[in-house]
Structure 1
Amino acid sequence: MRNEDEIWRLVEGRKQEYIGLSDRVWGMPELCYDEHRSCAEHTAMLEAEGFRVTRNVADIPTAVMGEAGEGGPVIAILGEYDALPGLSQEAGVMEPRPVAGETRGHGCGHNLLGSASLLAAAAVKDWLKANGLPGRVRYYGCPAEEGGAAKGFMCRDGAFDDVDIAITWHPAAFAGVMEPLSLANTRIDFSFAGRASHAAAAPHLGRSALDAVELMNVGVNYMREHMPSDARVHYAYLDAGGIAPNVVQATAKVRYLIRARNLQELNGLVARVRKIADGAALMTETAVTTKVVSAVSNLLGNTPLERAMQANLDRLGPPEFDEEDRRIAAGFQATMTEEDIASSWRRVGLEQRAGVSLCDTVVPLDRNGAPMIGSTDVGDVSWKVPTVQARGSTYAIGTPGHSWQLTAQGKLPAAHKGMVHVAKVMAGTAVDALRDPALIAAAKEDHRGRTGGRPYQSPLPADAKPALDMSR
């Protein structure tokens, strides 16, 4: 029996349990750092599988780690299970239809992400035992990827210090190796304090914190012309000072999300935004204080691991979707724009083919596409240890990220098939590393070359703590 056949058989043999886990988590969408029920589901599965379980990783109540095996190299497989606000949607329904009484939804597919990763880890656990080989596999249940930077706190606090390589994935339209491209970012709350007064009788006695926030936003908008083209700045009002227009607002708060290609560029951009905030406070005679909520590094690639993962993809082939899967996916495509669909093909560097609703090919390695560059706290793991990510095909081509359409497809048979497929890819890559010390050595050498041999430096301030209440 070929090596990959054995590990893939182990994945296939227990897939129904993990499809069930994915569907349960889909049905209990929880936001950043509030994933208590979802984490409990993953913890219960780890215990049932016989993993050695560590709770409250990095003092985060919804972070969990399970380890199996003895000695040898440590292979980490990373999972997530946080949802998004405002994306509630009934499963399988091809029009916007929120679930009654629910506002949240798995519009990024993290119900699938965590379940596939845990499935892969469980299969590797059984493979190690069956073959009597040294080595440890760990499943890391990581909360708060959507803005909370939990993996960054976990890295900073030593959760990955003895890991040899890390493997993960993300739901997508196509199957392939994920391009190691992301933007470093930070979220900073700017709180302005002024002086309240009667807005009509004594406006001259007031100092408006809301004016300060608005002036800051104007200043940042003017800055956009003079920053790197691939940098991004977004903001959201957290406190506009109240609902009474006849009172000069004494307090106001805005959260800024600042992104740049790497940490050096990010630090420079953050310094400029801070100066603009100081200027807004000076103009309005208010005071400004800041709090860093989160920060993540940009992704580092790893060529040996990417080639190993691609080899597993090429041997396995694309997910085996059937005609019913493709018919349903075509129905969802009808809710999308032509631009959505074309962008999905362009992102992976493939020529668009009419009438194709689901992935039917494996994206070649090093395909020159136009990937969507967002941010992820996997970036910090990739600076800490050699890391590789798969792209798992779980939804119709053209589905926008963070959309009701993505939520609606999260329990479909196609999503389950894509989830199991990518679990095989990750498990196969892990087994390749466990069987071949040279692969791990090459991955580490590649990592040293990319980091210059410098130890990981967290972008989080030393006194920053996870914003456990950020979703409330």
Structure 2
Amino acid sequence: MKNNDVKTYLAQNKETFEKISMYIYDHPETRFEEYESAEYLAAECEKAGFSVERNAGGIETAFVATFGSGFPVIGFLGEFDALSGLGQKPDKTAYEPTEVNVGHGCGHNLLGTGAFAAACTAKKYLEDHNLSGTVKFFGCPGEEGGSGKTFMVREGVFDGVDAALSWHPSPANAIMSLSSLANYQVYFRLKGVSSHAANSPHLGRSALDAVELMNVGVNYLREHIVPEARIHYAVTNTGGISPNVVQADAEVLYLIRAPKVQQVDDIYKRVCKIAEGAALMTETELSIEFDKACSNYIPNRSLEKLLHESLVEAGTEKPGEEEVAFAEELWSTLSDGEKENYLDLIKGFGYVGNGSEFEGKYLADSISPYEASNEVLAGSTDVSDVSWVVPTAQLTAATSALGTPLHTWQMTTQGISSFAHKGMLRAAESMALTAVQLFEDEEKLKAVKQEFDEFSKANPYICPIPNAVKPSTLK
């Protein structure tokens, strides 16, 4: 199957894949509650001729779709979870939230569908050429704050896969060659004693005081950790809304990030000590619940080169006038800071250049050169844990206007636009062409696996999520 065959297949099935993307977009669900999206996509896999294993890794909304048999085994990673607070009506140039304020502010309706389209195209290649080999599509829930793939890795779901491919929507077309931040997400709960805040405050022990003291202590810690690290927190329980009651219960959720898992673990232990100190100061009881974690991403340069060749071969097309006009209106909704930061945003996705090709434009219609980067993306992804156990590469395809930040209503509103679906199919074509290279040329796959094996021998994988921890929904 040559490039024209791949294009023809995707063009012939364009409406099917767009329909799937729109269904997932119209049924936004948060982490590990993607019941409708997962079942719909799994059913589409069966309709396309894949056998489907549901409840993969013991996760209700995870599944693995398989076609073929034998070597090599090529996997495609698909996501379909949405974000709370980012409900937005599509194709609007102003903020118009939906009644159920959940939306695809990270484009996972496109991500999952594009990976599925790539898997279908690779399957067609095996069928047309009567070749041995296996295509696997992984339905991966809970990427947003849940580290679904990390749980799946822990349970051995990706065992036996020879190479894995994925992508992510963004404003640019490039190879995602940067590493990422590892993280831990942990609940700190404080238990005190309630009392009348005026009549008998001396009898109370404030859990909220403990949370506030903990947060102050962690803010002082920031000066004494590696500069690339990030510590975020959200007070998830303040103990009530009555100021005349000493709050007996309070909770804070921490997300700790750093370039390496060991760095995260070191910072986490220090945060725990601060929490213990806050509990001692307020005579409250502390309990700690580990929620989830993920590792740092390990790029496979050999596979990235193949993926970039395929992205260049897939190419781009000139945006239509209506698409440009829509993008220009969305650009006008961005803050000055977001406009000034547009180049840094796409550099985080692997874009290489000075932005000169975007002068006077609002949509990317070019493909970035490939350059292996030693920099670290200031963000996290559970694709990282897959990359520790399987040679992995990712690309990004332009689905939104330049400057569009992820996790915003502007990203959500562009989620099923014609430009977004063009980018989705470009990503699918690029991944499918890469799979074709791996099926056809054993030497290329050998180079990919050799690079991976050299890394693995020196860096054995340890899952950052303890065995006792189970996937959790938003609380």
Bigger Cα displacement from structure 2, 325-334 vs 24-33: 325-334
1:213-252 alignment, distance < 5 Å: 213-252=211-250
**Is residue 289 of structure 1 aligned with residue 292 of structure 2?**
no
Give TM-score scaled by structure 1 length: 0.96
1:257-272 alignment, distance < 5 Å: 257-272=255-270
How many angstroms apart in 2 are the aligned matches of 1:401 and 1:245?
37
8 Å Cα contact 2:327/2:401 also seen in 1: yes
8 Å Cα contact 2:171/2:363 also seen in 1: yes
Given candidates 383, 400, 407, the residue that maps to 1:402 is 407
How many angstroms apart in 2 are the aligned matches of 1:135 and 1:149?
29
8 Å Cα contact 1:319/1:421 also seen in 2: no
Pairwise CA distance, 1:90:
1.1
Pairwise CA distance, 1:354:
2.8
AA of the residue aligned to 2:449: K
Identity of aligned residues (%): 42
Q: How has the CA–CA distance of structure 1 residues 338 and 195 changed in structure 2, closer, same or farther, with 3 Å as cutoff?
A: closer
Pairwise CA distance, 1:371:
7.3
1:48-447 alignment, distance < 5 Å: 48-99=47-98, 101-346=99-344, 347=347, 348-352=351-355, 353-366=358-371, 372-447=377-452
AA of the residue aligned to 1:64: F
8 Å Cα contact 2:178/2:376 also seen in 1: no
8 Å Cα contact 1:89/1:98 also seen in 2: yes
Pairwise CA distance, 1:367:
7.2
How many angstroms apart in 2 are the aligned matches of 1:342 and 1:137?
42
Pairwise CA distance, 1:221:
0.4
CA offsets 1:60-93 (integer angstroms, 9 cap, x no match): 1111110001111111100001111111111111
Aligned residue pairs: how many?
A: 468
Pairwise CA distance, 1:396:
0.4
CA offsets 1:272-314 (integer angstroms, 9 cap, x no match): 1111111111111111111111000000010110000011112
8 Å Cα contact 1:15/1:119 also seen in 2: no
8 Å Cα contact 1:85/1:103 also seen in 2: yes
8 Å Cα contact 1:26/1:106 also seen in 2: yes
Q: How has the CA–CA distance of structure 1 residues 462 and 368 changed in structure 2, closer, same or farther, with 3 Å as cutoff?
A: closer
How many angstroms apart in 1 are the aligned matches of 2:254 and 2:298?
25
How many angstroms apart in 2 are the aligned matches of 1:115 and 1:22?
6
Bigger Cα displacement from structure 2, 364-373 vs 447-456: 364-373
The 3-state SS of whatever aligns with 1:452 is helix
Pairwise CA distance, 1:205:
1.3
Structure 1: tracts of 5 or more residues without a match: none
AA of the residue aligned to 2:66: E
AA of the residue aligned to 1:137: V
CA offsets 1:323-360 (integer angstroms, 9 cap, x no match): 32222211211111343234222322432343211111
How many angstroms apart in 1 are the aligned matches of 2:9 and 2:423?
16
How many angstroms apart in 1 are the aligned matches of 2:365 and 2:17?
24
Q: How has the CA–CA distance of structure 1 residues 56 and 366 changed in structure 2, closer, same or farther, with 3 Å as cutoff?
A: same
AA of the residue aligned to 2:274: I
Root mean square deviation of aligned Cα: 1.6
Q: How has the CA–CA distance of structure 1 residues 108 and 197 changed in structure 2, closer, same or farther, with 3 Å as cutoff?
A: same
AA of the residue aligned to 1:281: A
Q: Aligned residue for 2:466? A: 461
Runs of 4+ off more than 3 Å: 367-372, 451-455
Q: How has the CA–CA distance of structure 1 residues 369 and 59 changed in structure 2, closer, same or farther, with 3 Å as cutoff?
A: closer
Q: How has the CA–CA distance of structure 1 residues 4 and 333 changed in structure 2, closer, same or farther, with 3 Å as cutoff?
A: same
CA offsets 1:427-448 (integer angstroms, 9 cap, x no match): 1111111111222221122112
AA of the residue aligned to 2:26: G
8 Å Cα contact 2:177/2:372 also seen in 1: no
CA offsets 1:359-401 (integer angstroms, 9 cap, x no match): 1110111177987520000000000110000111100011111
How many angstroms apart in 2 are the aligned matches of 1:25 and 1:318?
25
The 3-state SS of whatever aligns with 1:146 is helix
AA of the residue aligned to 1:412: S
Bigger Cα displacement from structure 2, 435-444 vs 121-130: 435-444
Structure 2: tracts of 5 or more residues without a match: none
How many angstroms apart in 1 are the aligned matches of 2:326 and 2:415?
13
How many angstroms apart in 1 are the aligned matches of 2:441 and 2:337?
44
How many angstroms apart in 1 are the aligned matches of 2:400 and 2:143?
20
